[in-house]
């Protein structure tokens, strides 16, 4: 049976000075972890679990089987890896604080704003400008709805939908992400001014996608979705959703690298809401710090999703701002670098207040009074 290891940050502190330096800075972010779980599984079952602080990590590693020691050391190193900024066209996106990705859907059937910006390009342009003015670091343009039950979109229709939006966003000087799983759409968008690919199928849907991304040199977001065909929400069931999504994303990253995509250009997304129950989504959100052990920047897309309605008396999609902010803050507290949201101004404000709190926490007032 196969042994696997998972190095999972459990508890957070205001800063290293609060615990005599015995804390880990997560992925170059403003978040510091104190207690770390070292979980050994065998055949999918947990057989050993130690909870230690960074100071005791070497001793804990000495108790691990030799077969997983290299994995453990790699994950431990990855947890503190500082990520270089993303260079998206003329825009530089630093990853030492949470950055906001604004959503621009040009689809007839998106669950949140279907048809609103497709049928009225002037309104789409105004919305894009408002998101940039509010502080969005980049805009994510999508021409296909990936909500459960949505019909597949023909590539030609998708290209026709997204190109005007890419054009007007590029003319504003925006950093642009293209949300697609089709190689032809990626090529068209990248040629028109997009500089990042956000693929909800993790380059599995179209056999040419990995080749296109590798040749372009563009960064790519690889998202977890259990479905392998048209239905990305096809859920086989999970034994341990957190560890299984972790392993899946590791394999997706390795496939992308084998296809010629540089490791420094890969971003990972646990795929909240894609083929996952409410309990699955909550487990992943609570375990987000673990995914830094994969050594890549992380993206969280939970804005206005179905789980918010499930937790709030079935509030409709247009009344999920509070829940969206709560989930964005969960991502910030986990050190997530990119937050994909509909409500940019409100999320930027929440981020700025959160950052103020984190900055202030690095000053240990109790010591100043000694």
pLDDT digits (tens, 9 = 90+) for 148-204: 766 778 888 999 999 999 999 999 999 999 999 999 999 999 999 999 999 999 999
Residue recorded with tokens 């999508």: 142
Name 2's Cβ contacts closer than 8 Å, sequence gap at least 6.
42, 43
Rounded to whole angstroms, how far apart are CA atoms 53 and 127?
46
Q: Pick the catalytic residue: 161, 253, 340, 358?
A: 340
Q: Are 145 and 107 in contact (CB under 8 A)?
A: yes
User: In the chain, helix, strand, coil percent, each to 5?
Assistant: 40, 20, 40
In DSSP terms, 99 is beta-bridged to 338
Q: For residue 367, what pLDDT is reported?
A: 54
Q: For residue 120, what pLDDT is reported?
A: 76
pTM: 0.94
- CATH of 86-358, picked from 1.10.10.60, 3.20.20.10, 3.20.20.20, 3.30.565.10, is 3.20.20.20
Name 175's Cβ contacts closer than 8 Å, sequence gap at least 6.
88, 89, 91, 93, 137, 138, 139, 195, 196
340 in active site: yes
112-156 pLDDT, tens digit each: 565 566 677 889 999 999 999 999 999 999 999 776 766 778 888
Q: Is 209 exposed, middle or buried (0-12, 13-18, 19+ CB in 10 A)?
A: buried
Q: For residue 244, what pLDDT is reported?
A: 97
Q: Pick the catalytic residue: 4, 181, 265, 305?
A: 305
Sign for the CA dihedral angle at 112, 113, 115, 118 comes to negative
Rounded to whole angstroms, how far apart are CA atoms 351 and 340?
13
206-259 pLDDT, tens digit each: 999 999 999 999 999 999 999 876 777 777 789 999 999 999 999 999 999 999
Q: For residue 369, what pLDDT is reported?
A: 47
Q: Pick the more confident residue, 365 or 265.
A: 265
Task: Give the range among 22-36, 52-66, 123-137, 350-364 with minimum mean pLDDT.
Answer: 350-364
Q: For residue 70, what pLDDT is reported?
A: 97
Q: Please, which pLDDT band fits residue 98 given cuts at 50, 70 and 90? A: very high
Tokens at residue 279, please?
Answer: 């309990």
305 in active site: yes
Name 258's Cβ contacts closer than 8 Å, sequence gap at least 6.
none
Where along the chain do its domains lie?
Answer: 3-79, 86-358
Q: For residue 362, what pLDDT is reported?
A: 85
Q: Is 258 exposed, middle or buried (0-12, 13-18, 19+ CB in 10 A)?
A: exposed
Q: Are 95 and 295 in contact (CB under 8 A)?
A: no
Residue recorded with tokens 């130690």: 50
Mean pLDDT, the chain, integer: 93
Average pLDDT over residues 267-277: 96
Average pLDDT over residues 101-111: 83
**How far is C-alpha 174 from the geometric centre of its chain's CA atoms?**
20
Rounded to whole angstroms, how far apart are CA atoms 200 and 138?
17
Q: Please, which pLDDT band fits residue 336 given cuts at 50, 70 and 90? A: very high
Helix (H) or strand (E) holding 48: strand 45-52
Nearest-5° Cα angle at 275, 229 to 182: 35
């Amino acid at each position: 049976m196969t042994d696997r290891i998972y190095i999972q940050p459990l508890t957070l502190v205001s800063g290293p000075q609060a615990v005599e330096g015995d804390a880990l800075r997560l992925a170059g972010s403003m978040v510091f972890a104190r207690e770390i779980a070292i979980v050994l599984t065998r055949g999918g079952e947990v057989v050993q679990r130690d909870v230690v602080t960074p100071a005791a990590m070497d001793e804990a590693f000495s108790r691990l089987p030799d077969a997983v020691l290299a994995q453990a050391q790699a994950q431990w190193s990855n947890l503190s890896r500082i990520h270089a900024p993303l260079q998206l066209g003329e825009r530089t996106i630093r990853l030492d604080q949470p950055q906001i990705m604004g959503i621009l859907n040009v689809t007839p059937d998106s669950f949140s704003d279907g048809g609103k910006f497709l049928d009225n390009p002037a309104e789409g342009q105004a919305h894009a400008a408002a998101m940039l003015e509010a502080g969005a670091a980049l805009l994510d343009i999508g021409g296909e709805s990936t909500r459960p039950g949505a019909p597949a979109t023909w590539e030609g229709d998708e290209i026709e939908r997204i190109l005007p939006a890419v054009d007007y966003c590029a003319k504003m000087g925006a950093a642009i992400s293209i949300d697609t799983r089709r190689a032809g759409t990626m090529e068209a968008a990248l040629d028109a001014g997009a500089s990042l690919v956000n693929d909800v199928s993790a380059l599995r849907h179209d056999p040419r996608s990995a080749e296109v991304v590798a040749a372009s040199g563009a960064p790519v977001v690889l998202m977890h979705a259990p479905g392998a065909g048209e239905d990305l929400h096809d859920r086989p069931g999970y034994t341990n959703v957190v560890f299984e999504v972790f392993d899946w994303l590791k394999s997706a990253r390795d496939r992308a690298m084998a296809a010629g995509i540089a490791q420094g250009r890969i971003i990972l997304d646990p795929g909240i809401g894609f083929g996952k129950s409410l309990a699955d989504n909550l487990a992943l959100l609570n375990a987000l710090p673990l995914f830094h052990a994969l050594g890549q920047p992380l993206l969280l897309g939970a804005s206005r999703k179905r789980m918010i309605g499930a937790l709030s008396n079935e509030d409709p999609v247009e009344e999920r701002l509070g829940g969206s902010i709560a989930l964005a803050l969960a991502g910030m507290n986990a050190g997530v670098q990119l937050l994909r949201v509909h409500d940019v101004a409100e999320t930027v404000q929440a981020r700025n207040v959160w950052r103020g709190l984190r900055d202030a926490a690095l000053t240990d007032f109790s010591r100043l009074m000694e």
